[in-house]
């Protein structure tokens, strides 16, 4: 199968429409902060012939695939091996001092989910790895083996919003005392045994735990907390940023940050808003947009998506 058959970019046309007004001039800089296999980036390079792409990804395999996919645009692209909070350094490395449009498509990529030996999918037996950048860092097996029961409970609660976090942490610690937990099938078996039958009927017991482990292993929320402010600071006036989130933790953070960025800085009780207190950004969509029924049916990975976008309307104070 070709790369286009196995990877369908989520909300592609909507992202093009939202970010397009900032990319109408020659030399406009489009930052794809989560390049993946290059689906969004390819569409932007095709639609806007004068733009330059700065693409970021921590996964070397994704960068290799995206590089091949975007080879015909090589004179307009700079691909950088970095986490998405490295947007400022990536721009500098590419010889750019600002961004006109930024896209973050958060979460685990199609490439990572579909490569069984990466250990991201609970439905496929594989080594418990879950590193988006397999060249370094701790694995999910390391976390399961070394975190205390309290630490495991904390990440399951915080990053997985798992109601059975305490029970799952207790079962994992008990199981690892008997034998190392090194594969996804082992962990799924432990979680299934710990889950009451009534709860199992409500969904797969491993889903939230695997999500929590992935976020912990890759430091995803910490990176996001640095990435969005960095991207906002890099935007030129008229520049736009769109964020695709797939879990409530990410979306709540983006919502809060966008609300702060679009709020007046005028002190409470001031009768007139001074120009320097006016918001630096404006919302481009009301609330969070979701994929339509047709896209959700044809591309199941679009079902949980939440899209938010804002535009810089004036320079920073």
Instruction: Report the share of the chain in percent with pLDDT over 70.
Output: 91
pLDDT band at 23 (very low <50, low <70, confident <90, very high): very high
Report whether 242 contacts 19 (CB < 8 A): yes
Domain span(s) for CATH 3.40.50.150 in the chain: 3-105+220-312
Which of 83, 100, 105 has its CA nearest to residue 304? 105
Please give the annotated binding residues for S-adenosyl-L-methionine, written as ranges: 38-40, 57, 84, 105, 112
Q: What angle do CA 11, 67, 129 make, to 5 degrees?
A: 75
Domain span(s) for CATH 1.10.150.170 in the chain: 119-218
CATH, domain 119-218, list 1.20.200.10, 3.40.190.10, 3.30.1330.30, 1.10.150.170: 1.10.150.170
Is the domain spanning 3-105+220-312 CATH 3.10.129.10? The answer is no
Q: Which residue has the higher pLDDT, 230 or 268?
A: 230
Q: Which residue has the higher pLDDT, 110 or 42?
A: 42
Query: Is the pLDDT confidence value at 303 over 60?
Result: yes
> What digits encode the pLDDT tens for the residues 243-295?
999 999 999 999 999 999 998 776 666 666 666 668 899 999 999 999 999 99
Measure the CA–CA gap between 20 and 47, rounded to whole angstroms.
Answer: 9
> What digits encode the pLDDT tens for the residues 42-52?
999 999 999 99
Tokens of 66: 């995206």
């Amino acid at each position: 199968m070709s790369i286009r058959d196995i990877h369908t970019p989520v909300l592609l046309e909507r992202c093009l429409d939202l970010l397009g007004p900032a990319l109408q001039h020659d030399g406009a800089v489009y930052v794809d902060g989560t390049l993946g296999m290059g689906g969004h980036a390819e569409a932007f390079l095709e639609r806007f012939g004068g733009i330059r792409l700065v693409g970021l990804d921590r996964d070397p395999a994704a960068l290799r695939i995206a590089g091949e996919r975007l080879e015909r645009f090589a004179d307009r692209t700079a691909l950088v091996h970095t986490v998405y909070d490295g947007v400022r350094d990536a721009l500098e490395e590419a010889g750019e001092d600002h961004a006109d449009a930024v896209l973050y498509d958060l979460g685990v990529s199609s490439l990572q989910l579909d490569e069984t030996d990466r250990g991201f999918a609970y439905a496929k037996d594989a080594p418990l790895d879950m590193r988006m950048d397999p060249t370094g860092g701790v694995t999910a097996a390391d976390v399961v083996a070394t975190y205390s029961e309290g630490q495991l409970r904390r990440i399951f609660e915080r990053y997985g919003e798992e109601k059975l976090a305490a029970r799952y942490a207790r079962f994992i610690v008990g199981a690892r005392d008997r034998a190392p937990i090194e594969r996804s099938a082992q962990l799924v078996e432990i979680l299934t045994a710990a889950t009451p039958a009534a709860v199992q009927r409500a969904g797969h017991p491993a889903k939230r735990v695997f999500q929590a482990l992935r976020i912990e292993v890759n430091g995803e929320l910490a990176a996001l907390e640095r990435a969005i402010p960095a991207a906002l600071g890099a935007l030129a006036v008229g520049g736009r940023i769109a964020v695709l989130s797939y879990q409530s933790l990410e979306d709540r953070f983006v919502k809060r940050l966008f609300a702060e960025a679009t709020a007046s800085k005028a002190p409470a009780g001031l009768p007139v808003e001074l120009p320097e207190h006016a918001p630096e950004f404006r919302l481009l969509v009301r609330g969070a947009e979701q994929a339509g029924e047709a896209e959700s049916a044809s591309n199941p990975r679009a079902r949980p998506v939440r899209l938010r976008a804002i535009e810089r309307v004036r320079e920073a104070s």
